[in-house]
Amino acid sequence: MEKKWWHGKTAYQIYPKSFLDTNGDGIGDLRGIIRKLDYFKDLGVEILWLSPIYCSPLADQGYDISDYYGIDPRFGTMEDMDELLSQAGRRGIHILMDLVVNHCSDEHPWFQAACRDPEGPYGRYFYIVDRPADGSLPCNWRSAFGGSVWSPLPGHPDKLYLHIFHRKQPDLNWENPEVRQEIYKMVNWWLDKGLSGFRIDAIINIKKHLPFENYPADRADGLCSIEYMLANAHGVIDFLDEMADAAFRPHDAFTAGEVFHEKEEELPRFIGDRGVFSSMFDFAETLLGQSPLGWYDNKPVTPEMYKAACFASQKRVEGVGFLCNIIENHDEPRGVSHYLPPEGRHTAGKKLLAGLNFMLRGLPFLYQGQEIGMENRRCRSIDEVDDISARDEYQVALAAGLGPEEALAAVNRFSRDNARTPFQWDGTENAGFTDGTPWLPVNENYREINLSAQMEDPDSLWNFYRALIALRKSPTYAEAVVYGDLIPWLREQENLMAYLRKGEEKTLLVLGNFQNAAQTAVLPGAVRKVLLNNLHEFTAEAGRVQLEPWQFLILEVAR
Ligand code: GLC
Ligand code: CA
């Protein structure tokens, strides 16, 4: 496999709105990110992905862009962005932006022009159709945030436009070459500015199976998930290959796709040596337990499920490419609240989850707050919920017959707000995030969970992440950590997640006792060195290691 500049690095996702507010308006900003660049240098992070900061009505928190060439004034100015790029560059930190091109905002000039003249050139930038005479819809697809994907075109009651996400996010028509050229031009403009690449939003959706047609309804609302259409859609790779040639490849850009529902045989074309992207996120774990009926019906994730999903993903990409590994992002609940059973939600358990995920083969992507173990926030009423997805899921749960309290409980488990509460910098008011009123309330636990306390504590989760990142870069072990084969170890042993990372010179054994009771594990060879231990105990004898509840170890073993 060809070696790439990004392989050995650790990446980190910033959710700018909740990162650090420097002007007291309660909204995180670019100046806040600039101020904290040394923090990332100290932590060892070398790639930063910024969730969208473009001009936007923020109907979906910036994933609805009204000007791809502008910075939303709430986040700062283009001068701030330029400064961020140069200051980051000086520290050896690469900046990625979010590329949101399945759709734009309904406030984007393209859509406004389409509304003025649907028959004109901008009408062809979107999917606009005549409303069927019988009042039906062109097809029964359900939008990701609830209801039909079709809404009346403003000013034209006889026409409908397509939006796979919110009605304020009209889908761009990728079949139109003019649209594609506009997008490539914009991507090049940013890469020329010094951006190192992009995280690529919702990209599988750009290819629609046409003509529009119904699929069997999968809920009582008579609509169906977009998945059925995607399974029939072919050709997304051709669009992406064209974009890669037009923009990514000439810049040697790093690109991480948000890809769901890809076709198995397309994997090499996505992330193989001549793939359209550098990498893509592994979402297998995030999909565990998910019900087609809605969040209210989701099942808990067990350690065995987690282990099986991680190993299956590793197997899929073996010999193909690199995945981006995550335990959470801005669309997911906090990993420690989601993957750890209640009795494991303490520092030792959090370190175990951190280590098991971080040491997988691939590129680790930390999400803001993960490094201090931030947890889900419980809302007491649906009125406290900001996330449009969670608000829809609340209605879905009510419609399914749940009471308001049960519906709220479901929303609290999965709401995207969980990951979007302000970063907990310290124990002062509003966790040091703002002098004003935060746009989303700070998690009440900020006095116990905050960065400043963890930086002082050598046994903190934060220091553990720092050690993991350092190990990934250590001259002795980097080769095994980054490129070593991943071989599951004692796979059948319940609630033990263990694997070898076999490098050219070194072999590491990663062990996690994913339960509240001790267990022992057979060793594949003599222990040369304990590289990381989340507890103080370490007992190995007669070819076995004793694992305390929630113990996590990285051992160098003889091969
Ligand atoms: C992606 C984003 C999510 C957004 C959606 C629509 O899944 O991560 O936050 O709502 O796309 O752009
Ligand atoms: Ca601000």
Express each pLDDT in 332-351 by its tens digit.
999 999 999 999 999 999 99
Peptide bond into 211 cis (omega under 30): yes
Atom of ligand 1 nearest to the CA of 102: 12
Please, are residues 102 and 127 in contact by the beta-carbon 8 Å criterion? no
Please, are residues 229 and 261 in contact by the beta-carbon 8 Å criterion? no
* Three-state secondary structure call for residue 520: strand
Report the C-alpha gap between 532 and 96 in whole angstroms.
30
pLDDT confidence band for 23 (50 / 70 / 90) = very high
- Strand spans (E) along 246-380: 254-257, 279-281, 322-325, 363-367
Pocket lining: 100 vs ligand 1, CB cutoff 6 Å? yes
* Three-state secondary structure call for residue 126: strand
Ligand index nearest the alpha carbon of residue 65: 1
Pocket lining: 60 vs ligand 1, CB cutoff 6 Å? yes
Report the C-alpha gap between 521 and 511 in whole angstroms.
9
pLDDT digits (tens, 9 = 90+) for 466-516: 999 999 999 999 999 999 999 999 999 999 999 999 999 999 999 999 999
* Interacting residues of 26 by C-beta distance below 8 A, sequence separation 6+: 434, 436, 437, 438, 439
Integer CA distances (angstroms), 243 to 186, 274, 321, 375, in order: 11, 13, 20, 38
Report the C-alpha gap between 274 and 270 in whole angstroms.
8
- Return phi, psi of residue 533, to 5°: -145, 125
- Strand spans (E) along 315-357: 322-325
Report the C-alpha gap between 15 and 32 in whole angstroms.
11
Integer CA distances (angstroms), 558 to 484, 505, 533, in order: 15, 10, 18
Report the C-alpha gap between 481 and 497 in whole angstroms.
17
Ligand index nearest the alpha carbon of residue 101: 1
Report the C-alpha gap between 262 and 266 in whole angstroms.
7
Please state the rounded mean pLDDT for residues 352-371: 98
Please, are residues 88 and 96 in contact by the beta-carbon 8 Å criterion? no
Name 199's bridge partners: 98, 256
Please identify every residue whose CB atom is under 5 Å from ligand 2, which is an ion: 21, 23, 25, 27, 29
Pocket lining: 201 vs ligand 1, CB cutoff 6 Å? yes
Report the C-alpha gap between 129 and 146 in whole angstroms.
20
pLDDT confidence band for 533 (50 / 70 / 90) = very high
pLDDT digits (tens, 9 = 90+) for 399-454: 999 999 999 999 999 999 999 999 999 999 999 999 999 999 999 999 999 999 99
pLDDT at 120: 98
* Interacting residues of 429 by C-beta distance below 8 A, sequence separation 6+: none
Distance in Å, CA 261 to ligand 1 centroid: 15
Distance in Å, CA 92 to ligand 2 centroid: 26
Nearest CA to ligand 1 atom 9: 331
Which of 41, 211, 195, 80 lies closest to 141 in space, CA to CA?
211
Pocket lining: 98 vs ligand 1, CB cutoff 6 Å? no
Q: What does the block give as tokens for 484? A: 């070593």
Tell me the CA end-to-end span of the chain in Å, nearest whole number. 23
Work out whether the CA dihedral 319, 322, 328, 331 comes out positive or negative: negative
Distance in Å, CA 24 to ligand 2 centroid: 6
Q: Judge whether residue 559 has pLDDT over 90.
A: no
pLDDT digits (tens, 9 = 90+) for 209-266: 999 999 999 999 999 999 999 999 999 999 999 999 999 999 999 999 999 999 999 9
Please, are residues 16 and 33 in contact by the beta-carbon 8 Å criterion? yes
Please state the rounded mean pLDDT for residues 534-545: 95
Report the C-alpha gap between 120 and 528 in whole angstroms.
71
Please state the rounded mean pLDDT for residues 138-142: 98
Q: Map tokens 């930038």 to a residue.
A: 125
pLDDT at 34: 98
Integer CA distances (angstroms), 425 to 88, 101, 162, 419, 450, in order: 21, 33, 41, 15, 5
Residues acting as catalytic residues: 201, 258
Report the C-alpha gap between 555 and 489 in whole angstroms.
13
Q: Judge whether residue 1 has pLDDT over 90.
A: no
Please state the rounded mean pLDDT for residues 307-324: 97
pLDDT confidence band for 10 (50 / 70 / 90) = very high
Q: Map tokens 């680790």 to a residue.
A: 364
Distance in Å, CA 446 to ligand 2 centroid: 20
pLDDT confidence band for 2 (50 / 70 / 90) = confident
Buried b (16+ CB within 10 A) or exposed e, 169-182: bbbbbbebeebbeb
- Strand spans (E) along 210-313: 254-257, 279-281
Full 3-state SS string of 314-325: HHHHCCCCEEEE
Please state the rounded mean pLDDT for residues 300-315: 98
Report the C-alpha gap between 364 and 547 in whole angstroms.
25
pLDDT confidence band for 319 (50 / 70 / 90) = very high
Please state the rounded mean pLDDT for residues 68-89: 98
Average pLDDT, the chain: 97
Q: Count the residues in the chain.
A: 559
pLDDT at 243: 98
Q: What does the block give as tokens for 146? A: 């609830």
